Amino acid sequence: MRGVTPPTALVYDPDLHIAGGTQWVTTCAAAALASRFRVTLAGPRPTTAKDLSSQAGIELPGIETAAIEAAPGPFGRHASDFDLLFLTHATWLPPGARRNLFYCHFPIHPRWRRLGPVPLPLTRPSFFPHRFDQILCLGRFSRDWIRRRWRLPASIIAPYCPDAAGTPDGKRPMILVFSRFDPAKRQIEAVRAFRRVLGEATRGWELVLAGSTFYRDYYDMVRREAESLPVRFVPDPDNETRRNLYRSAAIFWHLRGLGETRVPDNLEHFGIVLIEAMRAGCASIAFAGGGLTEIIERPGEEGVLIETEDDLCAATIGLVADEPRRRRIAESGVRRSLTYVRSRFDESILAAAGV
């Protein structure tokens, strides 16, 4: 009917200004909801739909943006103006819309406590996820820990990957690590492992480290570690550069979790970049923990799972030396990646929104 005003939705992410998987999922959710809602996409810092579209590589037509303080009082007052709230991982912010969805990447503990050797940096005692109409999450790893820590049910809505379609053809002798520069992402460990595999078998190969330099000090540390090695840095790449890197790389490494098994928070919660690499025809090697094992369901066929640096070095040398096997793994990875599609994500988000 003409003249009917669409319902309104607030999509909020306290880390919207940081390029990465959280920003990607939030902007994808906003794009999905925009087909049925008048969407405001917000974070604690001013931004524009144009900038977010450029960073995430997704169109955001008709979406408004806003800066809203990530504090319970101001946030709750803003949320009450909307028909729907889609909130990403900010456990300290309350629901306030007519329908409220909480998207959890991984559940921090609702109380001050230590988990394993690492004290969680909880500075906000407020905890609101139990007051939301529905909790959504990335995958089985997140869902199972939500049940364990929060004693709450959660529905899986797995994200899809950015468009980096490619094939195993035309690959260069290149190992790619694509992630924001962050100690948790193990770029220094990647450099050290690459130093170990250098030799006659890997002559002519390079390691490429690409991603956001939001944590600039760590980026500088990685650069110092890589001095004199055939390591190339691509800081803060645009979307076209990102796609070209994936299409060029013969091998992809995802190393979050390497050397870390006691604290689940420190493992990869899902691994969107792994799906992206598989979609682009990279033969992928990933740590055997967290959400990465949900993506590589058939180790040795869709990708290689490793547990130690020794495993990583052996797997890499094996793939470098065996091009037919590398190609078979890449082709199986492409097929596996195609199960993560936008239509399924959009339909699931709209169903959770009640439309």
Q: Are residues 330 and 309 in the same domain?
A: yes
Cα(92)–Cα(194) distance, integer angstroms: 41
Over residues 21-53, the pLDDT tens digits come to 888 999 999 999 999 999 999 999 998 988 888
Q: Are residues 245 and 345 in the same domain?
A: no
Nearest to 292 by CA among 179, 195, 175: 179
Q: Are residues 62 and 81 in the same domain?
A: yes
Cα(53)–Cα(40) distance, integer angstroms: 14
Cβ neighbours for 3, distance < 8 A, ≥ 6 positions apart: none
Q: What is the pLDDT of residue 110?
A: 58
Share of residues in the chain with pLDDT > 70 (%): 94
**Does residue 333 belong to any structural domain of this protein?**
yes
Q: What is the pLDDT of residue 319?
A: 97
Work out how many domains the chain is built from and give that number. 2
Q: What is the CA radius of gyration of the chain?
A: 21
Cα(24)–Cα(315) distance, integer angstroms: 30
One digit per residue, the tens of pLDDT, for the chain of length 355 reads: 455 789 999 999 999 988 888 889 999 999 999 999 999 999 999 989 888 888 777 889 899 999 999 999 889 999 999 999 999 988 999 999 999 999 999 998 655 443 333 334 444 457 899 999 999 999 999 999 999 999 999 999 999 987 767 888 889 999 999 999 999 999 999 999 999 999 988 999 999 999 999 899 999 999 999 999 999 999 999 888 999 999 999 999 999 999 876 788 889 999 999 999 999 999 999 999 999 999 999 999 999 999 999 999 999 999 999 999 999 999 999 999 999 999 999 999 999 999 8
Q: Are residues 234 and 254 in the same domain?
A: yes
Q: What is the pLDDT of residue 59?
A: 86
Element containing residue 311 per DSSP (H, E) = helix 309-321
Q: Which domain holds residue 141?
A: 8-160+341-353
Give me 94's structure tokens.
């309350």
Q: Are residues 207 and 300 in the same domain?
A: yes
Q: Are residues 184 and 320 in the same domain?
A: yes
Determine the residue type at 39.
Answer: V
**Does residue 16 belong to any structural domain of this protein?**
yes
**Does residue 56 belong to any structural domain of this protein?**
yes
Q: Are residues 119 and 36 in the same domain?
A: yes
**Does residue 146 belong to any structural domain of this protein?**
yes
Nearest to 13 by CA among 24, 1, 2: 24
**Does residue 1 belong to any structural domain of this protein?**
no
Q: What is the pLDDT of residue 109?
A: 67
Nearest to 303 by CA among 273, 324, 334: 334
Over residues 277-287, the pLDDT tens digits come to 999 999 999 99
**Does residue 140 belong to any structural domain of this protein?**
yes
Q: Are residues 228 and 303 in the same domain?
A: yes
Over residues 291-312, the pLDDT tens digits come to 999 999 999 999 999 999 999 9
Q: Are residues 180 and 324 in the same domain?
A: yes
Nearest to 18 by CA among 47, 39, 38, 40: 47
Q: What is the pLDDT of residue 197?
A: 95
Element containing residue 189 per DSSP (H, E) = helix 187-197
Say what the pTM is: 0.89
Q: Are residues 187 and 319 in the same domain?
A: yes
Q: Are residues 284 and 296 in the same domain?
A: yes
**Does residue 272 belong to any structural domain of this protein?**
yes
Q: What is the pLDDT of residue 108?
A: 81
Cβ neighbours for 38, distance < 8 A, ≥ 6 positions apart: 5, 6, 7, 8, 9, 62, 64
Nearest to 82 by CA among 13, 11, 32: 11
Cα(126)–Cα(7) distance, integer angstroms: 29
**Does residue 95 belong to any structural domain of this protein?**
yes
Token pair 């065996």 in the structure block, residue: 322
Nearest to 209 by CA among 56, 200, 224: 224
CATH value at residue 259: 3.40.50.2000
Cα(313)–Cα(208) distance, integer angstroms: 16
Q: Are residues 179 and 47 in the same domain?
A: no
